[in-house]
Amino acid sequence: MLKVKEDRYNGLIIEPESIHASASIFKVALEQLLEEATFQKKFLLWIDL
């Protein structure tokens, strides 16, 4: 599961340390996060790589 913080623009910032090294695990986690963010009416998703 990706850890996030809310920002002042009604978006979410993904915590870099919560990103898994495996691309397949990251893909599943990101899909779950996008579904939840859509449900919560979040408008932005930030990620630092």
| 15, 5 contact by CB (below 8 A) | yes
Domain layout of the chain by residue ranges = 4-46
Give residues with Cβ within 8 angstroms of 4, minimum separation 6.
12, 13, 14, 15, 33
Q: With 80 as the cut, is the pLDDT of residue 49 above it?
A: no
Query: Which residues sit opposite 2 in a β-bridge?
Result: none
Give residues with Cβ within 8 angstroms of 7, minimum separation 6.
13, 44, 46
Q: What is the rounded distance in angstroms from the CA atom of residue 40 to the CA atom of residue 26?
A: 21
Q: pLDDT tens digit string along 6-48?
A: 999 999 999 999 999 999 999 999 999 999 999 999 989 999 8
- Please give the pLDDT value at position 33: 97
- Please give the pLDDT value at position 42: 95
